[in-house]
Structure 1
Amino acid sequence: MADIPEHELEETRAALAPTLEATAAILPWVRTPRKARFDPKLNTRWIAASRHLATAWSERHAADNVRPAIFSLYAIAIETADADCLRLGEALACAADRLEETSPTPRLIAAITACIECLDDAAGLEHTAFGERASHFAKRLEACATATTSDERSAILDQLFVNEASEQIQLMRDALAALPPDAYALSVEARKLTDQAELLELWGVMHLARHLTGLIGQQAGNLEDGAVRASIEQRLGELGAALACIRG
């Protein structure tokens, strides 16, 4: 230190001063835990209800538990007396009403899916961005719930779907042909195809893909069996034929 000129030390101190001041300013925030906005027990119930809703939504094709799960979450939202929670709860409740329709729109399905995935968070109501998230999804759900269903299909969207679905079918064929067959890849692609078909309201393709998903799940340990492979190939062929009809 004795070899460093005093004027250089002063310049260094001056250069570091803003950084040191900024560091000192944030230290109290680092040391002090963020104060909880909600009662911990209430937040625990919210987290549990959100996870229950996520499970109900993922199993909606097998059991009709989505509406009760939404209203259970809405009841907790009312208890919070928080404007963002209340608005989100009301938007979800309206979305639940729209789900009772014969054919809810793909936009509504996508909005509900995104909202539920976001709500399934370990921090629950105490997430630092909860207010912004709740506001965003409330607006999105409200817009979808009030929108009218268009009777016109988009040829461009259909073509994009056919192209992507054809690639997924090829990926499934490759996974089936692998040694040993890749059950995970088969299942993932079949589920993706099911979800995409549902969003575009291509119900025939959706049902075929769902049946294929079920078959893969049931026979995941027997994919080297000739009869099982033939059955999966048959389902893949049916999906390919359905895509050909959409392609026209």
Structure 2
Amino acid sequence: MAPVTWRMSVATTLRHAGCVFAEDEAQLLIEAATSPDHLDYMVDQRVRGRPLEHILGWVDFCGSRMVVEPGVFVPRRRTEFLVRQAAKFAPPGGVVVDLCCGSGAIGAALSDLLGSCELYAADIDPAAVGCARKNVEPRGGRVFQGDLYDALPRQLRGRVDVVLANAPYVPTGSIGMMPPEARFHEPMMALDGGTDGLDVQRRVARHAAEWLLPGGCLLIETSEDQASETARIMEAGGLGARVLVDKELDATLVLGTAPAPGGNP
């Protein structure tokens, strides 16, 4: 088949499988294919519900191609809001920590926006850590495996400018309503935030002030419905908190600020 015919055929197949952006996906798969058999395989995987990003091996995030491997959480476009807000508070060359880093795309994208930073990322999932190293280490950062702050070098305590956390925030009872490609192909630990969705956020906020330098910031992605409770959690951890929203991206985050010397958060 000629390339145009291929695109039409693949797009039709994807559309019938329920892919909303069938034409765009078809073009990406065709460009990535090394042979007709490879294209057939990738299309079959997509029809079976495998995330496009896992098939391609990358995601376009904040204008850069970030590696995303099978079994690793796929960064959502709404999370670009978290990165761009963080860039307003992280000084060039500052110390940045990306907790629950998944693919490492958030910290890597922030490093790109800043030009440079002292970047550290951590995740408890070994598959995520392996993937994150491919995005973070080429930018001069370091990736650690472990549970939140326990994974980080002790010498970072009290000198971090910005902590980023796209921690899991889907309530356990709502997991079944997520799209199948998330439920079946992304790690449950990256989705399930406990009964109210905020279990991991509580743990991140509880210890953030110990790691941030005075005036440093914690940014946590959350949902519109959860935002007020996320803010309360930050305040309970000694941080000033305010909710930031981007309606266009359907993105909500809470910004927490550590107290400045002799002042309030």
Give the alignment's TM-score, normalised by structure 2. Answer: 0.22
From the CA coordinates, give the structure whose radius of gyration is larger: 1
Q: TM-score, normalised by structure 1?
A: 0.23
More helix by share: 1
